Amino acid sequence: MNLIVISDKADNFVAIKSISKENNYKEILYYEKSIEDLLYSLEKNSEINLFIISFDSEQVCSDIAVLIRSINKFYFTPIIIINSKIHNMFQVYRRTHCFDYFSSPYDKRLKVILEKKTKNEKINLINKSQKKIIELEEILYVECLNRRIFIQTFNERIEYKCMTLKKFGENLSEDFLRIHQSIMVNKKYITRIDKRRNVLYLKNAVDLPIGRSFKSVF
């Protein structure tokens, strides 16, 4: 799992890097103030699982998060904002759709979040006729048809047991988003959203309907 830290404080990077390494984040990049370098790296790298933004200015944190959100492939990638002076928390949440926003000291809270994210890397499928372990990274989307769960990976479609989509979703990570009463998708693989036709496109030329009651997600 890869992480990018965007901050104006080298001390923050050292502390965050230490916490992240404990939770199996492999590539941890650091950007100080060069937004141009950041944008260049983001265009080249699509395998980023988490952004952490930490500046003294709440406005700068918010602006950088909005910039990241403007890049389609990172529209749903979790962003954590760390700021020493929180004044407009709800406005920042509304503007950036960040995963979390908190102030210093942040060590314990960040550690809990990273531990939770790395625990949900695999799912065990167990029923009477099968026992299978799937990497969450392999799943494109999950669908519930006739009360049965179907898991679509890059290589196969797996029919699982009778279960509600809500119940099955408890086994998934924050990377999965419900877009329909019967469909959850892996946000990492969304390539395009057609709001006019209410269709969402995934990698491998997959297109899925967006339910009326789920339009507000986008």
Q: Are residues 61 and 81 in the same domain?
A: yes
pLDDT tens, 76-120? 788 888 887 767 777 887 788 787 888 766 777 787 777 766 555
Q: Is pLDDT at 150 greater than 80 in this prediction?
A: yes
Give tens-digit pLDDT for 29-67: 666 556 777 777 777 776 777 888 888 888 888 888 998
pLDDT for the residue numbered 27? 56
State the pLDDT at residue 33.
53
164 and 197 in a single domain? The answer is: yes
Tell me what the mean pLDDT of segment 65-80 comes to.
82
Of 84, 119, 154, the domain-final residue: 119
| Residue 209 burial by Cβ neighbours in a 10 Å radius (0-12, 13-18, 19+) | middle
Among the candidates 119, 136, 163, a domain finishes at: 119
The pLDDT-based confidence of 197 (bands split at 50, 70, 90) is very high
What is the C-alpha to C-alpha distance for residues 159 and 150, in angstroms, rounded to an integer? 5
Question: CB within 8 A of 14, min separation 6: which ones?
Answer: none
104 and 133 both lie in a single domain: no
**Are residue 138 and residue 213 in the same domain, yes or no?**
yes
pLDDT of 31 = 62
Task: Tell me the residue range of the domain where 195 lies.
Answer: 122-217
